[in-house]
Amino acid sequence: MSKIVTHPGLRTDRNPTSEAIGAIKLPAIMQGVGGWGIEEDFIGGGTPNWILTATETSSAAFTFAAAGGKGGLAVLDIGTSGIATEVAEVQIDGAAFQPTAGASIYFGALFKTDVVTGKLFVGLATEDTALTDGSSVLDVTSHIGFWFNGANVELTATGATNTDTGVDAVADQFIKLEFVVSGTGSVVPFVNGTRYSSAKLTTFPTTLMTPSLAKVLGATEDNKLTTVDWIKCYQQEDLVRVGSA
């Protein structure tokens, strides 16, 4: 597992929010004790190891940024069909996160989108080649994350009432979205480091989930881009492996 990339000085707000990651024992998890996690800082070349599903399959792409990628960036290009309900989504192959009693999860992402019309989801979701119904509705077995419903940022989760943070997304400006799921099913959202009202899962999800990002165009312009700086997710939970059945 790679180490957290830190950026001291004026850009420390790029890093995960201390209050959010304080809910899990991250130093122990980074040593392979009491949990697991994944960090994507998108440093490299070619195509990140994520599964891409898109309406416009011939032109949609998820690639490392060719320029301006200091610190690592990846770009989700929705494609060129010019259809208002065009969708592009990416997921990490291999779902490994599921809230349970007594366990906590941290999820965070720093990204920007060049158009805030349409819809956008970022968070944890069941592996699925159609996270939305092709328009404005999430259509997935289990999910916990953030939903841009036009402009405002909402926390949404299976079995919980959406929580509107009241924060407007701004086109082409980075926004940091994080949430913490406690072992009691409480989901606490953070937007740009500020904590907002929590939601409560009525039941824990019944399926494993994976970091996911989905964009619905919402207009007829082509090649709209979502630029991702990092996505991180950790689950604090002891698992017995050696000698178990």
According to the model, what pLDDT value does residue 54 have? Answer: 86
- Parts of the chain with a pLDDT under 50: 1-12
Q: Other CB atoms closer than 10 Å to residue 133's CB: what's the count?
A: 13
According to the model, what pLDDT value does residue 114 have? Answer: 87
According to the model, what pLDDT value does residue 133 have? Answer: 67
Query: Is residue 240 situated within a structural domain?
Result: no
Q: Which domain holds residue 203?
A: 20-231
Number of independent structural domains in the chain: 1
d(CA 167, CA 36): 31
- Please list the residues that pair with 123 across neighbouring strands: 145, 212
Burial readout 12-47 (b: 16 or more C-beta within 10 A, e: otherwise): eeebbbeebbebbbbeebbeeebbebbbbbbbeeee
Query: Is residue 13 situated within a structural domain?
Result: no
Q: Pseudo-torsion of CA 206, 132, 125, 207, nearest 10°?
A: 20
According to the model, what pLDDT value does residue 46 have? Answer: 74
Identify the CATH number of the domain in which residue 82 sits. 2.60.120.200
According to the model, what pLDDT value does residue 7 have? Answer: 42
Task: Read off the tokens for 125.
Answer: 């979701």
Query: Is residue 87 situated within a structural domain?
Result: yes
According to the model, what pLDDT value does residue 1 have? Answer: 41
